[in-house]
Chain A
Amino acid sequence: AQKITQTQPGMFVQEKEAVTLDCTYDTSDPSYGLFWYKQPSSGEMIFLIYQGSYDQQNATEGRYSLNFQKARKSANLVISASQLGDSAMYFCAIRAGNNRKLIWGLGTSLAVNP
Chain B
Amino acid sequence: DGGITQSPKYLFRKEGQNVTLSCEQNLNHDAMYWYRQDPGQGLRLIYYSQIVNDFQKGDIAEGYSVSREKKESFPLTVTSAQKNPTAFYLCASSLGPGLAGGRSGNEQFFGPGTRLTVL
Identify which of A31, A37, A91, A107 contacts B99 (C-beta below 8 A). A31
Contact A45 B90 (CB under 8 A): yes
Contacts of B104 in A (CB 8 A): 50
B69-119 contacts to A, CB under 8 A, are: 88, 90, 92, 97-105, 107-113, 115
Identify which of B41, B42, B105, B112 contacts A44 (C-beta below 8 A). B112
Contact A102 B108 (CB under 8 A): yes
* A88 lies within 8 A of chain B by Cβ: no
Contact B100 A95 (CB under 8 A): yes
Contact A47 B108 (CB under 8 A): yes
Contacts of A100 in B (CB 8 A): 31, 48, 50, 56, 97
Contacts of A62 in B (CB 8 A): none
Contact A43 B112 (CB under 8 A): yes
In the complex, how many residues of chain A place their beta carbon closer than 8 angstroms to a beta carbon of chain B? 33
Contacts of B43 in A (CB 8 A): 45, 91, 93, 102, 104
A-B Cβ contacts below 8 A, count: 83
* B58 lies within 8 A of chain A by Cβ: yes
Q: Interface majority SS on A: helix, strand, loop or mixed?
A: loop
* B2 lies within 8 A of chain A by Cβ: no
Q: A43-B112, A106-B41 are in contact. Are A52 and B101 (CB under 8 A)?
A: yes
Q: Mark A77-88, 1 if CB is under 8 A from B, else 0.
A: 000000000000
* A17 lies within 8 A of chain B by Cβ: no
Identify which of A33, A42, A47, A54 contacts B112 (C-beta below 8 A). A42
Contacts of B101 in A (CB 8 A): 30-33, 52-54
Q: Least Cβ distance of A102 to chain B in Å?
A: 7
